[in-house]
Amino acid sequence: MSKHAPAIGVRVSGLFASHFFGFGLFLPFFPVVLELGGSSAAEIGLILGAGTIARIAASPILSNLSDRSGQRRLFILVYSLAGAVFLSLYSLPGGIAVVALATIGYMVLNAPIVPLSDAYALDVVRNTGADYARMRLWGSAGFVAANLVGGTLAAEGTAWMVIALIVAAACMNGAVAMSLPGQKRGKTDAQEGDSEEATPFRTVWFWPVLAVLGLFQASHAAFYGFGTLYWQAMHVPDFAIGVLWATGVVAEIALFTVAGRLALRFDPPVFLIVAGLAAVLRWSLFPLADTFAAMAALQLLHGLSFGASHLGAVAILSKVVPSRWAGTGQGLLATSVGIQMAAGLSVSGLLYEVDPDAPFALMAVLSASGTVLMVLLTPLVRRRMAI
């Protein structure tokens, strides 16, 4: 490991932490902010649905612009500050149109930041031998902190502070990005001729693998969309809901802490298969958890259902996509997740109105399907990773 790895690793950790603090406020609590601002349930669904579609389309395009320029740090700064400007529009008068513009604009500009941060972190791993999981865990820590803060602030009279903190986090994210040193893109580009033709994006095998990688994370759609509402219907206090969200991410952090050692024994497809099995168990039992202790126990499975699937997917793409196009590869993964997440949210919404337990049963089925598909694709993935 390079002697510079710890110093760079600290700053990359800060990059993840600042971004995910803002995201940890936005994901579970921004619908509450919109509701307190006077938006109806139908308007909230329309705004967030349109924002999701827009970010799905934007992620690979904006990530690819950065890859072509070779200036990942600069583009993280630009996207972060532009997103902060859009969300700041929420404070202006103008009704639902301004609210929609502020929210959707933020979601679009926010879309490429994680793919570009992952791509930069993977360059650091190649060049210094740093541990990706140990840098990424600080993003999870930022998310936990935001969950706890949001659980306290998501109330009438203090909801504006949620927006202010998201804007501040975006500005901090841009500042941290520009404090990072430039990174060499590694030997992969020279070996591959540094051409677009050398990427797997034009091959047939890449797309079904990408779809399966996205399915593992998209199997959380019902929870992301309706987990908070489900618990509120069970009369779980708002602060306790924040604690439950935080519990899942603490488990994720625990996995990231030891993932480097686990990776010496298990390859990325194994991480994904374990993630799928954990998700089947988690979503099958979710409707049966009727006490806080039971809910918290199931939340611990988030460390595997999300954490292991994320690490496995990122590792696979880091092996099969040349370094120069790593941002595009990670952006395509985000799009795969987004498309399937949007479909899952739509179907879950329809099912939730009929039976609040039904969306989680669907997620269990999707998780089982993803696990089976990953088992079948593992020989192909391992061959491509070895090339």
Please check the confidence at residue 309 and state whether its pLDDT lies above 80: yes
Quick one: residue 95, left, alpha or beta (phi over 0 = left, psi -120 to 50 = alpha)?
left
CATH number for 1-184 (one of 1.10.10.10, 1.20.1250.20, 3.30.450.260, 3.90.730.10): it is 1.20.1250.20
Relative orientation angle of helices 206-218 and 268-285, to the nearest 10 degrees: 40
The model's pLDDT over 11-31, given as tens digits with 9 standing for 90+, comes to 999 999 999 999 989 987 888
The model's pLDDT over 224-240, given as tens digits with 9 standing for 90+, comes to 888 988 998 899 988 88
Q: Can you tell me the distance from the alpha carbon of 82 to that of 73, in angstroms, rounded to the nearest whole number? A: 14
| Average pLDDT score over residue span 239-267 | 88
| Domain ranges (residues) in the chain | 1-184, 185-387
pLDDT of 42 reads 80
pLDDT of 341 reads 87
Please check the confidence at residue 290 and state whether its pLDDT lies above 70: yes
pLDDT of 192 reads 46
Query: Which residues lie closer than 8 Å to 249 by C-beta, 6 or more apart?
Result: 24, 140, 141, 143, 144, 147, 302
pLDDT of 76 reads 96
The model's pLDDT over 324-380, given as tens digits with 9 standing for 90+, comes to 898 999 999 989 998 998 888 888 888 988 899 999 999 999 999 999 999 999 999
Higher pLDDT, 216 or 195: 216
C-alpha radius of gyration, the chain, whole number:
20
Please check the confidence at residue 194 and state whether its pLDDT lies above 60: no
DSSP letter for 250, please: H
Please check the confidence at residue 183 and state whether its pLDDT lies above 70: no
* Whole-number Cα distances in Å, 185 to 101, 188, 198, 302, 369: 36, 8, 15, 33, 36
Please check the confidence at residue 197 and state whether its pLDDT lies above 70: no
Q: How many percent of the chain have pLDDT more than 70?
A: 94
| Average pLDDT score over residue span 163-190 | 81
The model's pLDDT over 149-176, given as tens digits with 9 standing for 90+, comes to 887 787 767 878 999 999 999 999 999 9
pLDDT band for 254, please (50, 70, 90 cuts): very high
| Average pLDDT score over residue span 134-157 | 84
Q: Which architecture does CATH list for 185-387? A: Up-down Bundle (1.20)
* Whole-number Cα distances in Å, 156 to 37, 38, 153, 216: 9, 11, 8, 35
Domains 1-184 and 185-387 share a fold: yes
Location of structure tokens 């349109």? 50
Secondary structure tally for the chain: helices H, strands E? 17, 0
Average pLDDT for the chain: 88
Residue pair 212/377 in contact by the 8 Å Cβ criterion: yes
Q: Can you tell me the distance from the alpha carbon of 63 to that of 326, in angstroms, rounded to the nearest whole number? A: 9
Annotate 212-251 with b (16+ C-beta within 10 A) or e (fewer).
bbbbbbbbbbbbbbbbbebbeeeebebeebbbbbbbbbbb
pLDDT band for 190, please (50, 70, 90 cuts): very low
Query: Which residues lie closer than 8 Å to 365 by C-beta, 6 or more apart?
Result: none
pLDDT of 196 reads 47
pLDDT of 316 reads 94
pLDDT of 2 reads 53
